[in-house]
Amino acid sequence: MCGIVGYIGDQQAYPVLIKGLHRLEYRGYDSAGIALINEKGDLSCYKAKGKVSALEAAVSDKDVTGTIGIAHTRWATHGEPNEINAHPHFSQSRNLALVHNGIIENYKSLRSMLSSHGRTFCSETDTEVLVQLVEYMQESHDCNLFTATQLALKNVVGAYAIAILDKNNPDTLVCARKGSPLIIGVGKNEDGKNPEFYLGSDATPIIEYTDQVIYLQEEEIALMNRAGDLTITNLANVKQTPQLSTLQLSLDQLEKGGYPHFMLKEIWEQPDALRTCIRGRLNVSNKDVILSGIIDHKEKFINARRIIICACGTSWHSALIGKYFIEEAAQIPVEVEYASEFRYRNPVIYPDDVVIAVSQSGETADTLAAIQLAKQKGAFLYGICNVIGSSIARATDSGTYLHVGPEIGVASTKAFTGQVITLALLGLAIAKEKHSLSDEMFHMLIDELEMIPDKMQWTLEHNKDIASFAQMFTYAKNFIYLGRGYNYPVALEGALKLKEISYIHAEGYPAAEMKHGPIALIDEEMPVVVIAPKKGMYDKIVSNIQEIKSRKGKIISVVTEGDTVVRDMSDYCFVIPDTRDCYVPMLAVIPLQLLSYYVAVAKGRNVDQPRNLAKSVTVE
């Protein structure tokens, strides 16, 4: 949730750290802080409540020199977002400064133990306990920072990614991780001799300087020094061999590219993003689908008794669409689970179950824990992630990357459609192995899937001028979204998008459920968004619209091009091109994404960084 950045090398650290914080701000933006050791050996620390820009303003007249430093942007878990609770936190002597992402679950007992040894605390955070514990170990065992960190972490229950500065060791930077990601970038100092090192919660603050990275593994501790040495051990002090990887990320993917917000950029990127996702996987000339992730594991899918998909939020919605598709195409029963519920039940998992994790970030703590549980119970694990090298991608037996490029806006858009198309590819790939579809149907689904990116482009072009229309709905306190079949999850997703960025309460329902209760909410004030393509259940949804109209609800519909019946019943209409039922979600969601975006803009909301949210939820 929080973002960590660090640097040790020949450059001035402050510009690297502050730029890194801006790139990581999507992970949390309650407060930010920075610690540096300057040439004289002073350890300086500056913090500010709010965004990284507030921190920049706060340090404008301060000494920010130094070639080693750590920085943090926070999403509060323990203690309100204020300057005191902002990271870095200091040890008692103020010789150590530490930044942390994660949660120390046993911080209360550690805090009482440390208090009984005379340590006093300034903040309410679990992080301050950690830095005090490291110093306590340093002093009580008379050891160096690295060993003290090992000893401290052996006593910690919970999740952490940490970076530590020691005033008495200005040439070393120590970091460690468990449960929360941490990446070390290995760059070249200007003299081309010793390497310089970067640290990041993800690759975004690093890519500008180097594409050579090491993904720190669970319970590993690393020590980097100015001489360019890197030592990695586990908690038991066993030396680990660092594995260097090359990042597949470019800097321009992290910029807004002329758009006012990342979210709008990412909405418009969808056609290209999905073209990249299916490239090399969908072969229209040969009428084939090739997913390398399942080639070596065909038998697992062919013989699967059941597929269980674990996910959270938007990824849970795409998983639901995946369930409908896989059941229809591959004839395997699919269950979709909220990862946070699944992990705390004692679910029945058979050895011939396939458990799929769907996650944009690949770091969602609940989803990661859910698959770890499934692994213990012997299931085969498959990951559908966007972030390459992420924890879920590494924890699964096999998987498929979305390849839709980095998603920076907190509200997920291109990752959603990327997940839906990836699940469709997966369903088709399994259907091919199981021969569960007729050749005719299989070919038709391939041909149509290939046309989806172009149809998305059409949808964007035909629905782009909705800013003034969205303005009319800023008054609304509630919205209802309705859909049936494949479009029920789209209704859920449309409602979630509106909630998270405009703060308007919204509910998604299966349209036919209205009459079982929610219809009581309908009056002339209530906008009802109905996904009503001219497909299978069209007549039924027309009846649902009539029921709402007769109670004076305002109808905003998503209809197929050429439709007149629903159009005439609607107060406002979004148009999408015709496609097969199972692919409608990838088109129908686009006007809903645009609607939530423009309503939020009209209400003056911070679209890319909505309140209380963070892009990647690495805590429970």
Within 495-514, the residues that bind ligand M6R by CB under 6 A are: 500
Binding range to ligand M6R, per CB under 6 A, among 134-142, 182-190, 311-319, 543-551: 311-319
Q: Is 180 in the site for ligand M6R (CB under 6 A)?
A: no
- Bridge partners (DSSP) listed for residue 215: 183
Pick 18 or 607: Cβ nearer ligand M6R: 607
Q: What is the CA radius of gyration of the chain?
A: 26
* List 2, 45, 277, 582, catalytic entry: 2
CA distance 429 to 316: 21
Query: Exactly one of 31, 101, 123, 367 binds ligand M6R (CB under 6 A); which one?
Result: 367
Query: Exactly one of 502, 560, 616, 618 binds ligand M6R (CB under 6 A); which one?
Result: 616
Query: CB of 585: closest distance to ligand M6R in angstroms?
Result: 15
Tokens of 603: 């209400």
Helix axis angle, 439-462 to 584-602, nearest 10°: 20
Closest residue to ligand M6R using C-beta atoms: 313
Query: Exactly one of 6, 9, 313, 322 binds ligand M6R (CB under 6 A); which one?
Result: 313
Binding range to ligand M6R, per CB under 6 A, among 133-141, 254-262, 357-365, 510-518: 357-365
Binding range to ligand M6R, per CB under 6 A, among 307-315, 321-329, 450-458, 579-587: 307-315
Binding range to ligand M6R, per CB under 6 A, among 23-31, 210-218, 353-361, 473-481: 353-361
Helix axis angle, 439-462 to 270-278, nearest 10°: 160
Query: Exactly one of 340, 412, 463, 502 binds ligand M6R (CB under 6 A); which one?
Result: 412
Q: Are strands 353-359 and 380-385 parallel, antiparallel or unpaired?
A: parallel
Binding range to ligand M6R, per CB under 6 A, among 194-202, 313-321, 544-552, 584-592: 313-321
Query: CB of 361: closest distance to ligand M6R in angstroms?
Result: 3
Q: Are strands 282-283 and 288-289 parallel, antiparallel or unpaired?
A: antiparallel
Alpha-carbon dihedral of residues 130, 133, 139, 143, nearest 10 degrees? Answer: -60
Query: Exactly one of 132, 149, 201, 361 binds ligand M6R (CB under 6 A); which one?
Result: 361
What is the DSSP code string of 580-617? -GGGHHHHHHHHHHHHHHHHHHHTT--SSS-TT--SS-
Question: Contact 18/73 with Cβ under 8 angstroms?
Answer: no
Pick 364 or 579: Cβ nearer ligand M6R: 364
Q: Is 391 in the site for ligand M6R (CB under 6 A)?
A: no
DSSP letter at 88 equals: P
Query: CB of 161: closest distance to ligand M6R in angstroms?
Result: 16
Question: Contact 111/83 with Cβ under 8 angstroms?
Answer: no
Q: Is 314 in the site for ligand M6R (CB under 6 A)?
A: yes
Tokens of 372: 């770890």
Q: Is 360 in the site for ligand M6R (CB under 6 A)?
A: yes
| Number of CB atoms found within 10 A of residue 111's CB | 18
Q: Are strands 527-532 and 478-483 parallel, antiparallel or unpaired?
A: parallel
Q: Is 371 in the site for ligand M6R (CB under 6 A)?
A: no
Query: Exactly one of 233, 359, 593, 618 binds ligand M6R (CB under 6 A); which one?
Result: 359
Nearest to 311, CA basis, from 254, 217, 404, 386: 386
Question: Contact 575/478 with Cβ under 8 angstroms?
Answer: no
* List 178, 300, 455, 615, catalytic entry: 615
Q: Is 411 in the site for ligand M6R (CB under 6 A)?
A: yes
Q: Is 2 a catalytic residue?
A: yes
Sign of CA dihedral 210, 214, 219, 222: negative
Pick 565 or 613: Cβ nearer ligand M6R: 613
Q: Which amino acid is at 298?
A: K
Nearest to 605, CA basis, from 293, 613, 440, 508: 613
Q: Is 429 in the site for ligand M6R (CB under 6 A)?
A: no
Residues at the contact surface with ligand M6R, assessed by CB under 6 A = 312-315, 359-361, 364, 367, 410-412, 500, 613, 616-617
Active-site positions?
2, 615
